[in-house]
Amino acid sequence: MALGADPTAIYRYFTGMDDIVLAVADRLLGRAVAGFVPDSNWRLALRDLACRVHRVYVAHPHVAQVAFCRVTRRPHELAFVEIVLRILREAGFTTDEAVLRYRALADTMLSFAGQDAGAEVLPAEVLEGDDSAWRAAYSEVSPDTHPYIKEAHGLLAEQMPISSFVTALDFLLAGFGDPRNN
C-alpha cells in the first residue's frame, strides 16, 4: 500500500511466490555478471565471476537462502552459464569436461552462498555462540582422546568463523587441471 498499489497487483506479473523468487534470483545473477570482463587466465576469470555471484547473493541473504539451489531458467542465469562454458571451452576443455567443471563451480559457489547467507541472518547471539564454541569447547578437549583437535584448536578458533569460500574455490579451480594434459 505504501506504493499506492494493491499488494495483489504483483500477481499480474508473476504466477506466484516461487516465480517471484526465481525472478529476484535471476536479477541478482544479472547484477553479478554486469560489467564482467573475463581475465585472459581462465582460472582467474572463473574465480572473479564466482566471487561476484557469491558476494551479490550474500548481500541479499534472505533471497540467497531460498534461491541458491534453484534453476531460474531466465536470461541472466543463461548468460552466466554461457560465460562459464565459454571460458572453459576457450581454455581448451572438451564440452564434457567443461560441463562437469561448470557443475562443480556452480554448486560450490551457490552452496557457499546459501551457507554464508544463512550465517548473515542468524541472530547475533547465536552466531557468537557458534563462534565461541570453537574457542571454548574445542580448547577443552583431552589430548588423550582428541590429539589432533587439541593441537589445532587455536587455528580452528581462528578459521572456522570465517567463510572458507575463496579457499574452497581456489582448491576447486586448481583441481580442474590443465586442459592440455587431460
- Segment 102-146, tens digit of pLDDT: 999 999 999 999 999 999 999 999 999 999 999 899 999 999 999
CB 56 within 8 Å of CB 18: no
Average pLDDT in the chain: 93
> What global pTM score does this model have?
0.88
Higher pLDDT, 56 or 68: 56
| All structural domains of the chain with their residue ranges | 15-122+165-176
Contacts 24+ apart (CB under 8 A), 29-36: 29/53, 29/56, 29/72, 29/76, 29/77, 29/79, 29/80, 30/75, 30/76, 30/79, 31/56, 32/56, 32/57, 32/80, 33/76, 33/79, 33/80, 33/83, 36/83
CATH number, domain 15-122+165-176: 1.10.357.10
